[in-house]
C-alpha cells in the first residue's frame, strides 16, 4: 500500500452530487485500458490480512526523534477505504501525511510546507502541553512557510493550516464546525487570528476524504494564501469564509 496508490483511490471516489458523468458504452480497448485503483486495492486485501504492511517513514521529517518507531497499514484500514462508509482510521491519515510530505519535498521550494504528525497532535484535551511543545519546537526548528495538520475530534476529521508569518490559522471543516476548544487552546498560544473555510459533506463519513483532498490541492497547487483555489480545484463553489475569533 503506497501513497501513490492511495491518491489514485481518493481521486476515483467522487461526490455523486458533483462532476457526475453520464454512463456510456465502452469498446473492448477502452475497457481494458480503464484504470481501476479500487479494484487493485481489493486484490491486496487478502495479503494484508495475512501480513500487515509496514510503512517506511522518517520521523525527523515531522520534527520527531528518530527512535525507530514503526507504523503499519492493516486489513481493517484498507477495508475502511474500500467500504467508504465510516470515518477513516488515523493510520490512513498518517500514510497520507507521509505521502504529502514527500510531495512537498519534491518541489523546488522545499521550505514551503511542513507537515504535523497526526498522532502527535491527537487527543489535545489530555495532551495539551505535549502538543504545544511539539508544534512550537517543530515550527521553530524547521522554519517552513506553512504547516498542515489533520485533527480528529469526535470521529470527525478536520484540517488546519498554520501560517506563522501572517499569525493566522486557516481551518477547514466539511461540517462547518468551529475548532474544538482543546486544539484551539493549543494553537491559539501561537496564532491570534483564525479563518474558517468549509464545504458541507453529504453523508456521515466523507470527512477524511475531504481532508486528504484539501491537502492534495494545497501541496500540489503550491498554495500559500489564496485558499479559495482549494475549492476551485475541488470542483465546488466555496460555502463560507468567516472569522471566528
Q: Model pTM? A: 0.78
Q: Three cell numbers at 235?
A: 470542483
Q: What is the CATH number of domain 3-243?
A: 3.40.395
| N-to-C CA span, the chain | 40
Q: Are 211 and 93 in contact (CB under 8 A)?
A: yes
Q: pLDDT tens, position by position, for the chain (245 residues)? A: 554 555 555 545 444 344 433 344 445 554 455 677 777 778 888 888 888 888 888 899 999 987 777 788 888 988 888 887 888 999 999 999 998 998 888 776 778 999 999 999 987 677 888 888 999 999 999 999 999 999 998 889 999 999 888 888 888 888 888 888 888 888 876 676 777 777 777 777 788 988 998 898 889 888 887 776 675 554 433 333 333 22
Q: What are phi and psi of 122, to 5 degrees?
A: -80, 150
Q: What is the pLDDT of residue 105?
A: 84
From CA 49, how far away is CA 55, in angstroms rounded?
15
From CA 176, how far away is CA 6, in angstroms rounded?
26
Helix axes 3-12, 90-105, angle to 10 degrees: 110
Query: DSSP label at 175?
Result: T
Q: What is the pLDDT of residue 190?
A: 66
Q: What is the pLDDT of residue 21?
A: 38
Q: What is the pLDDT of residue 229?
A: 66
Q: What is the pLDDT of residue 33?
A: 55
Q: Strands of 193-198's sheet, edge to edge?
A: 113-115, 146-152, 157-163, 168-172, 193-198, 240-243
Q: What is the pLDDT of residue 25?
A: 47
Q: Three cell numbers at 106?
A: 519534491
DSSP assignments along 77-109, one per residue:
HHHHHHH--SPPPHHHHHHHHHHHHHHHHTSS-
To which H or E segment does residue 30 belong? Answer: helix 28-33
Q: How many CA atoms lie within 13 A of 229 on its CB side?
A: 12
Amino acid at each position: 500500500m503506497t501513497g501513490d496508490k492511495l491518491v489514485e483511490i481518493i481521486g476515483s471516489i467522487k461526490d455523486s452530487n458533483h462532476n457526475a458523468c453520464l454512463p456510456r458504452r465502452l469498446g473492448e480497448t477502452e475497457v481494458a485500458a480503464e484504470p481501476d485503483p479500487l479494484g487493485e486495492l481489493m486484490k491486496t486485501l487478502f495479503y494484508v490480512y495475512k501480513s500487515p504492511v509496514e510503512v517506511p517513514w522518517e520521523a525527523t521529517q515531522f520534527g520527531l526523534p528518530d527512535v525507530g518507531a514503526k507504523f503499519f497499514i492493516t486489513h481493517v484500514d484498507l477495508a475502511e477505504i474500500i467500504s467508504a462508509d465510516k470515518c477513516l482510521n488515523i493510520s490512513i491519515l498518517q500514510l497520507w501525511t507521509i505521502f504529502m510530505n514527500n510531495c512537498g519535498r519534491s518541489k523546488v521550494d522545499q521550505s514551503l510546507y511542513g507537515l504535523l504528525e497526526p498522532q502527535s497532535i491527537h487527543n489535545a484535551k489530555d495532551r495539551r502541553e505535549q502538543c504545544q511543545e511539539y508544534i512550537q519546537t517543530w515550527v521553530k526548528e524547521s522554519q517552513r512557510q506553512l504547516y498542515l495538520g489533520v485533527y480528529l475530534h469526535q470521529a470527525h476529521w478536520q484540517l488546519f493550516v498554520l501560517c506563522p508569518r501572517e499569525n493566522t490559522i486557516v481551518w477547514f471543516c466539511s461540517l462547518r464546525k468551529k475548532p474544538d476548544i482543546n486544539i484551539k487552546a493549543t494553537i491559539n498560544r501561537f496564532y491570534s487570528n483564525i479563518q474558517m473555510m468549509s464545504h458541507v459533506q453529504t453523508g456521515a463519513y466523507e470527512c477524511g476524504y475531504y481532508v486528504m483532498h484539501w491537502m492534495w490541492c494545497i501541496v500540489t497547487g503550491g498554495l500559500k494564501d489564496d485558499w479559495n483555489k482549494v475549492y476551485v480545484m475541488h470542483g465546488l463553489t466555496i460555502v463560507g469564509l468567516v472569522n471566528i475569533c
